[in-house]
Amino acid sequence: MAGLLRRDMLGVALTVAAIMLPVAGAQAADPIKVGVTITQSPPGSVVQGTQVKDGLEVAAKIINDAGGVDGRKIELVIEDTQGLPEKARAAVEKLATRDKVVAITGEHQSSAALAGIEVAHRYKIPYINTNGWSDVIREKGYPEVFNPGNYNSRVGAAAAATMKELGVKRVVSIAENTDYGIGLAKAIGEALKKIAPDVQYKYETLDRASKDFLPAILPMRANAPDAIINLMLPPAAYIMMNQLYEQGVAPSAKTWLYDGSGLADYPDFWQNVKEAGKGMLVFGLYHPKMAQPALGKQVGEAYTAKTKNEPNRLLFQAADSLFLIADAIKRAKSTDSGALIKALGETKYTGTRGEITFSKDKGYAFNQWLDVPYVTFQLTEVNQKVGDSALVSQAGQPLDPAKLWKPAK
């Protein structure tokens, strides 16, 4: 009887094992789901959302073509936030609870990121902030949130250094009324106070949904500043630039126009601004003449082959976001949230833009890659490609105003 029972038990065990083996095999080959929140429809920046999506897809293909992560493919689960905080919050909630993604990335608008990280923090799920520049995202101090992208304090310091080197006395920032715009306008003011306290600085906040900025520009025509810093995103930024140019305010012999929003590598930039963009100085997170690791070149070539477009900054930021998640899974040998967060915190990974590590200092530096590379370049001709523009300076290098192009009086 006992022998019979043992035989039965052995039979059951073998049957279960026979059933489970293929299941275990299937689990091993199950894709790793990564949640993506981007803007795919207005009113948010669909242009940015498209560039981020392309970057993530290029990175996913590179990872999957190389055999995936420990044999498992990466699968992107994409949610449209429309750039709206409430939609971003709902999207992260869905990705975390229904889709059971292992990490979330892709967000490129600060207001949406600020909403999304609250949910990610509640569920303790890793959140890689691709392009939310607002320092407040870092200042929250959430251990789940990692920032391999640019940040307002970095642009603030770069813009202030450029203003100092230009030798200007009065500077006006035109910022959109978002967490990103207002935060960056304040960051520039703080940086100017430190390195160029004699510069008179103020900022105007404009509604990004507005279509006519003339009433804000007319007083500037009467009393033009030495430099105007654009902190608005398209399409509002294009309208504002055209109106600045039509009113003869900037770029002009008297007033520099400096872009702190990365407008120049948008594919629709020149079609929308024409002469209004000639002479603009640009804070750039990507320039073809920048030194770049091999992975950056691979991603850039894959993107151009896929879209026929020139590479752009968001492409690399998005690709790095996914590469970092894949790297953390490999090192953690797990997709468990806690293990992933720990592995991400210990990151030392050479991505598309350089070696990425995350600072543990408090404030804007928390979980931030501090050495995000940047350059300053000037657009000296209408329809000029970023690669053909004049590379004025790289991070930390001085700028020589005598070498810059300026419109005649």
Partner 1 sequence: MSGIDVDLAVNGLITGVFYALMAIGLSLIFGILKIVNFAHGEFYMVGAYAYTLIALALGVPVWIALPLAFVVGALLGWLTERTLMRPLYAGYTSWGLMRDEYAVIVTFGLSLFLINFVDKVIGPYAYRGPPLVETSRVVLGPVLISGHRLLAAGIAIAVIAVTAALIKWSFWGQQIRAVSQNRLGASLAGIDTAKASVIVFMLSGGLAAFAGALLSPVINASPDVGIFPAIKSYIIVVLGGMGSVPGAIIASLFLGVIESFGAVYISFQYRDAFGLILLMLFLLFRPQGLFGEKGREV
Footprint of partner 1 (CB under 8 A): 41-43, 46-47, 49-50, 177, 204-207, 209-216, 218-219, 221-222, 234-235, 238-239, 242, 245-248, 266-268, 271-275
Residues in the chain: 409
Closer to partner 1 by Cβ: residue 42 or 141: 42
224's tokens: 């033009």
82's tokens: 């429309």
Closer to partner 1 by Cβ: residue 74 or 315: 315
Angle at 57 between CA 42 and CA 27, to 5 degrees: 120
How many other CB atoms are found less than 10 A from the CB of residue 6?
10
Residue 210 CB, nearest distance to partner 1 (Å)? 7
Residue 247 CB, nearest distance to partner 1 (Å)? 6
Dist CA 281 CA 260 (whole Å): 9
Residue 278 CB, nearest distance to partner 1 (Å)? 12
Residue 381 CB, nearest distance to partner 1 (Å)? 17
Q: Are 109 and 83 in contact (CB under 8 A)?
A: yes
Closer to partner 1 by Cβ: residue 19 or 218: 218
Which residue pairs from 295-299 have beta carbons closer than 8 angstroms and sit at least 24 positions apart in sequence? 295/323, 295/350, 295/351, 295/352, 296/351, 296/352, 296/353, 298/62, 299/55, 299/58, 299/59, 299/62, 299/352
Closer to partner 1 by Cβ: residue 12 or 214: 214
Q: Are 53 and 78 in contact (CB under 8 A)?
A: yes
Residue 355 CB, nearest distance to partner 1 (Å)? 33
Closer to partner 1 by Cβ: residue 248 or 401: 248
Residue 166 CB, nearest distance to partner 1 (Å)? 25
Residue 409 CB, nearest distance to partner 1 (Å)? 14
Closer to partner 1 by Cβ: residue 242 or 350: 242
DSSP 392-405: EEETT----GGGS-
Find tokens 């870092």 and name the residue. 138
Nearest to 199 by CA among 159, 237, 230: 159
How many other CB atoms are found less than 10 A from the CB of residue 84?
18
Closer to partner 1 by Cβ: residue 234 or 351: 234
